[in-house]
C-alpha cells in the first residue's frame, strides 16, 4: 500500500522518538533545568512501538529513523532496532544520536545491519562543544565517531547546526568529509522551542565560509538519504557536504514524513501541534485496523507547508526539539 496525504505527497518515512531524556543539554534544544521528563508509564513500551510500526508498515511506511532525546540512553534500544528491522515492508532503519554512547554500541548496531547513523556534532572545538552542549564530553563523542569509522558497512553522516559562534569553525567540521568517508550536513536552525532564541545562520553564510577554505562547491544530484538534504562535492573529499535549509529553501512540497513522539502522539508536521494520540488508542484496547484508520485520518491534517516565518500561527507546536525528535 502507498500512503498519500491530501497534497498527494507519498508518506513513507517515520521518525520514532524513543525517549525525551538526554545526557546533553544543547542550548538550542533542551533547557538545563526545569525539564520534567516523561515517566516510564507515559512513554510507549517497546511492544507498543513495534505494534505501531507494524501498522505503519502495512500503510506504506518503508523507512524508520530512531531518535529522541538521546535514543541510546534508553535501555535495550538496540533490541528494539533489531526487531524493527525484521518488520515486513520496512526497508531501512537508521539512528540519529549525539554519539556519547556510540563507542559502546557500535558493534551491536553493525551486527544487526543498521542502515545508517547520523551523529550530531556542532563543532570540533572541545571547549565550545562543552559550551553548546553543557557537558564536557567532546572526547567521548569523537572516540564514538572514530569507533564507528571502523565499520565500513555503516553509512555515517555528521549533522551540524551552525550557530554563528566564534570558533565553531564550519570548515573544520566539513573537513571530516575530507578525511573520512562521511557526509557532513549543515542544518539551519529552526524556530522551534529554544531554537527561537537563536540567530538564523543561513546556508549561504556557511557556503561562503566553506568556499573560502575549499573552493567552489559542486552540486551533486544523487539522492543520499530520506530527506530534503541537497548535497555538494568538493574535489578531494571522500564524503559530500549537505545542507538542510528549512528556512532558506522550503522543502515542504516534497515532505515524505510523519513523526511518532515518545509518548505516542503521531505528529504530521514539525511546526504544528496536530496529529493523533495513538497511545490512547492502544491502551483503550483498539484493534490494529482502527489504529490504522486513525493514522490515515490524522494524515488528513498534515499541512501543505510550514509557516516558520509568520509571527502568529494557529496550532503552533509548543514542544521543544528534544520532545519531538528533530
Which region, judged by CB under 6 A, interacts with ligand SF4, from 11-19, 62-70, 243-251, 272-280?
62-70
Query: What is the rounded distance in angstroms from the CA atom of residue 267 to the CA atom of residue 290?
Result: 18
Nearer to ligand SAM, 260 or 291 (CB): 260
Q: Are 256 and 10 in contact (CB under 8 A)?
A: yes
Phi, psi of 143 (to 5 degrees): -75, -30
Candidates 3, 14, 16, 26; binder of ligand SF4 (CB under 6 A) is 26
Query: What is the rounded distance in angstroms from the CA atom of residue 187 to the CA atom of residue 162?
Result: 7
The item of ligand SAM, ligand SF4, none sharing an interface with residue 189, based on CB under 5 to 8 Å by kind, is ligand SAM
Q: Least distance to ligand SAM from the beta carbon of 216, Å?
A: 26
Q: Is 317 in the site for ligand SF4 (CB under 6 A)?
A: no
Residues facing residue 92 across a β-bridge? 63
Q: Are 1 and 10 in contact (CB under 8 A)?
A: no
Footprint of ligand SAM (CB under 6 A): 22, 28-29, 67-68, 70, 96-98, 120, 159, 161, 187, 189-190, 192, 195, 321-322, 325-326
Nearer to ligand SAM, 247 or 293 (CB): 247
Q: Is 138 in the site for ligand SF4 (CB under 6 A)?
A: no
Q: Least distance to ligand SAM from the beta carbon of 79, Å?
A: 19
Q: Is 68 in the site for ligand SF4 (CB under 6 A)?
A: yes
Classify burial at 34, counting beta carbons within 10 Å of its beta carbon; exposed 0-12, middle 13-18, buried 19 or more. exposed
Query: What is the rounded distance in angstroms from the CA atom of residue 321 to the CA atom of residue 299?
Result: 21
DSSP letter assigned to residue 197: G
Q: Least distance to ligand SF4 from the beta carbon of 288, Å?
A: 31
- Lookup result for grid cell 570558533: 167
Q: Is 308 in the site for ligand SF4 (CB under 6 A)?
A: no
Q: Is 24 in the site for ligand SF4 (CB under 6 A)?
A: yes
Q: Least distance to ligand SF4 from the beta carbon of 20, Å?
A: 8
Query: What is the rounded distance in angstroms from the CA atom of residue 199 to the CA atom of residue 209?
Result: 17
Amino acid at each position: 500500500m502507498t500512503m498519500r496525504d491530501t497534497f498527494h505527497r507519498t508518506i513513507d518515512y517515520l521518525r520514532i522518538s524513543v525517549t525525551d531524556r538526554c545526557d546533553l543539554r544543547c542550548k538550542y534544544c533542551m533547557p538545563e533545568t526545569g525539564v520534567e521528563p516523561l515517566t516510564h508509564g507515559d512513554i510507549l513500551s517497546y511492544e507498543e512501538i513495534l505494534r505501531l510500526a507494524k501498522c505503519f508498515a502495512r500503510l506504506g511506511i518503508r523507512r524508520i529513523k530512531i531518535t529522541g532525546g538521546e535514543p541510546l540512553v534508553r535501555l535495550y534500544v538496540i533490541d528494539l532496532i533489531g526487531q524493527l528491522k525484521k518488520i515486513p515492508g520496512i526497508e531501512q532503519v537508521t539512528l540519529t544520536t549525539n554519539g556519547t554512547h556510540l563507542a559502546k554500541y557500535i558493534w551491536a548496531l553493525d551486527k544487526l545491519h543498521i542502515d545508517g547513523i547520523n551523529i550530531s556534532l556542532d563543532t570540533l572545538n572541545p571547549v565550545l562543544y562543552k559550551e553548546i552542549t553543557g557537558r564536557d564530553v567532546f572526547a567521548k563523542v569523537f572516540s564514538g565517531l572514530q569507533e564507528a569509522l571502523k565499520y565500513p558497512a555503516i553509512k555515517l553522516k555528521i549533522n551540524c547546526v551552525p550557530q554563528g559562534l566564534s570558533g565553531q569553525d564550519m570548515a573544520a567540521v566539513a573537513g571530516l568529509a575530507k578525511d573520512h568517508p562521511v557526509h557532513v550536513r549543515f542544518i539551519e536552525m529552526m524556530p522551534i522551542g529554544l531554537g527561537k532564541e537563536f540567530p538564523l545562520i543561513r546556508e549561504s553564510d556557511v557556503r561562503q565560509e566553506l568556499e573560502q577554505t575549499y573552493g567552489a562547491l559542486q552540486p551533486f544530484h544523487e539522492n543520499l538519504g530520506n530527506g530534503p538534504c541537497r548535497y555538494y562535492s568538493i574535489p578531494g573529499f571522500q564524503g559530500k557536504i549537505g545542507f538542510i535549509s528549512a528556512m532558506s529553501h522550503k522543502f515542504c512540497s516534497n515532505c515524505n514524513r510523519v513523526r511518532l513522539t515518545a509518548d505516542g502522539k503521531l505528529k504530521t508536521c514539525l511546526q504544528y501541534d496536530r496529529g493523533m494520540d495513538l497511545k490512547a488508542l492502544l491502551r483503550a484496547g483498539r484493534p490494529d485496523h482502527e489504529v490504522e484508520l486513525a493514522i490515515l485520518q490524522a494524515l488528513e491534517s498534515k499541512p501543505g507547508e510550514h509557516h516558520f516565518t509568520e509571527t502568529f500561527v494557529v496550532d503552533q507546536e509548543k514542544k521543544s526539539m528534544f520532545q519531538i525528535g528533530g
